[in-house]
Structure 1
Amino acid sequence: MKIESVNLPVKEAKGHLFVNNEAQVYVVDGETFPAGFPFGGCQICGQHPSYQVMGDAAHVQEPCPHPDGITTTITLSVPSGKLLVSDDLRPVYNWPDDSPLHYNSVLGRARAIESMAAIGCAYGPASDRSLGLYRTDPDRYIIATPWIDFDNDETPSIPEDTLLADMCTDVWAYSIADYEHWILKGGDPETLDQGDTIVNVTPGTYRFIHHSGERGFDLDVDETVIFAHVEQIA
């Protein structure tokens, strides 16, 4: 018996997003059988949908529940008027490690954002590139990576005087919390370092709209990449 494992192109994905848009199949003595999608399934919903092999391509049977990706919106209460901006506020804030959703999927990361917001932390996945909190208008901000054209003009695409906090991206994420709330939950100011910044804002409730889970979100563009919009709503 001869068994081979090969990948076929996905001709009909029904909204799912797969690495290289390929499905894995087994070829047993010349007959083709579905095997599964490699690398964690759909990058949006995390599912491994069933598919039919028709000719030299795979046709997905179940549609993705989030074909346009996910825009995750949360709120953060900041009664102290002080935002603690950091790359990592663990162990004071951390989501439970019992979610059945894989963090490598957009849906899994959206659930992590929501879980952190529920305990008082505006968390967001990021990349390993430079990241900052910038003021765009009174009580309005963006969390973004500026674009710099090093070949022609090294001026960042976002005015440098609007930068309120640089964010280290060693853990490919950022965390923002009300400074006094962080202390009440056990945070020790003596543990803060140069990678942590306290930003004064108008006390109130802030809405964070996270864009990194949206389909088409692209880091490799010659423009500012906005991970989240932030604004005071109450």
Structure 2
Amino acid sequence: MNWLTWLSDFFSDPEQHSGPNSIAHRVWEHLLFSGEALLYATVLAVPLGLLIGYTGRGVTAVTAFAGAARALPTLGLVTLTVLLAGVNDTAALVPLVALAAPPLLVAAVEGVRGTDPDVRDAARGVGLTHPQVLWQVCLPSAAPTLLAGFRTATVQVIATATVAAYVGLGGLGRYVIDGLATRRYAVTAGGALLVVLLAVGAQLLFSLLSRYALPPGARPGRRGR
């Protein structure tokens, strides 16, 4: 049986069309875990990154922290969280937040640091306070870099949110884990394909945002023209 047959069997199975194990329900659970993790990571990392990027203090520490955090084993964090907090949503959210926070933190720092110093000085010269310079001048300039950080974090989280199934939670990881456990490889292949499609969809979404949602002067490729 080849993978095309597996996928055909998976998507044609009535079990995947309705009920708690349906594709729509599993995709919703997967997106919910991913969205929660990105929200918490954004609240924790982006304000701190903006502050560090504006003041220039702690940039080296941020770089070192981001490198160390990316080396943390996701399944190890899941296991540790289960031992400390039990089997609940926290067991899946902690490792996902730890995965999403570093690229967001680095993007915020580098985006603000990339603001033209002359523009910042001019803003201060016309009477803007430091918070006003940060939010009205530096943040718009950092938007492309921040968006790139969000794209990286989102794709990583979507691809890794399957770990929720390791602790008995939902999401597309249920197909992968349950399929392997019962040797229903069609289910495993279908779940893996859905994760890939979600990650690719996120990439395309951020590409569209970069092209159409950002102001014309902040869109990638426009500054050099």
What TM-score, normalized to structure 2?
0.29
Structure with more helix by fraction: 2
User: Greater strand percent: which structure?
Assistant: 1
TM-score by length of 1: 0.28
